[in-house]
Amino acid sequence: MKRVFVAAATLALLVGCSQNKITGRNQLSLFNEADIQSMAATEYQQFLTQNKVVSASASKDAEMVRRIGQRLVTAITSYYATQGLSEELNGYKWEYNLVNSNEVNAWCMPGGKIVVYTGLLPITQNEAALAVVMGHEIAHALAKHGNERMSQASAQQLGGQLLSVAIANKTPAAQNLFMSAYGIGSQVGALLPFSRKQELEADRFGLIFSAMAGYDPQQAIPLWERMAAASNGQKPPEMLSTHPAEATRIEKLRELMPEALKYYKPVGK
């Protein structure tokens, strides 16, 4: 029986591997993107009803989040068009909201559902740095890293086919795995960490997207220096829990910067 289960699991892993169109990397994707986007839309609206959303009409910070989001989406749409990958954005209905919370965090669900926490703003300090963070989070969603993490976890725990059905039916177990995979709330248990490879992909495309949107990607360096300093020996910000801050991160960002700067054209120039 054990051999049959192992064989079935191995077959699921082989069948579930596909090449990501934007990164070019083969990754495990056991879940249908439409199902994941449907769950994202449901969970996003539920999250907004349970948290204090800051109105863009009454807050310059919320308006900034919306402005950055719109500029990033324009840049991303253009980038995907030049790569002949516009269909990859099918189903994306972008939303950008600022939520009143001391948590130092931001995230993007599949389908373009973005949240920035007010606790992040004292660390980003300026619009370009916040654009780098939002670009990074959007890149995680576009690279389907959440699907990949959920697929890896389900292959180990429940078996891809079983959890795929659970995702489609939006069961509590599937909801918990989904929230954990996308780094939303610690109440769902241990958050699934991003791999170094996923982080590098999100850093690379996040820099490119923010640069294309007219924001200086070089703001990423002091941003992550401030992020690391924010821990001050205490519990690190949530972003450092879900996005490992290796000692080599800034060095990697410097290596990525020349490519990003090729796309950078300040707004109005």
DSSP string, 116-158: EEGGGHHHH-SHHHHHHHHHHHHHHHHTTHHHHHHHHHHHHHT
Q: Average of pLDDT values for 131-153?
A: 88
**DSSP type of residue 87:** G
pLDDT of 244 > 80? The answer is: no
Contact by Cβ (8 Å): 111, 244? no
> Is 137 annotated as catalytic?
yes
Give the phi and the psi of residue 190 in degrees, each rounded to 5.
-65, 125
Catalytic pick among 95, 137, 148, 238: 137
Confidence of residue 44 (pLDDT cuts 50, 70, 90): very high
Query: Is the pLDDT reported for residue 12 higher than 50?
Result: no
Domain boundaries, the chain: 31-261
Confidence of residue 126 (pLDDT cuts 50, 70, 90): very high
**Averaged pLDDT, 173-177:** 67
Q: CB 230: neighbour CB atoms within 10 A?
A: 17
- pLDDT interval class at 160 (50, 70, 90): very low
Distances (CA, A) of 38 to 32, 33, 113, 186: 10, 8, 11, 22
Q: What are phi and psi of 254, to 5 degrees?
A: -65, -35
Residue 91 has pLDDT above 50, yes or no: yes
Of the listed ranges 103-107, 115-119, 228-232, the one predicted with least confidence = 228-232
Mean local confidence (pLDDT), 64-81: 97
Question: What's the mean pLDDT when you consider all of the chain?
Answer: 81
User: Residue 189: what pLDDT?
Assistant: 42
- Check: CB of residue 39 under 8 Å from CB of residue 46: no
pLDDT of residue 39: 86
Percent of the chain clearing pLDDT 70 (strictly above): 71
Lowest mean pLDDT among 22-26, 86-90, 200-204: 22-26
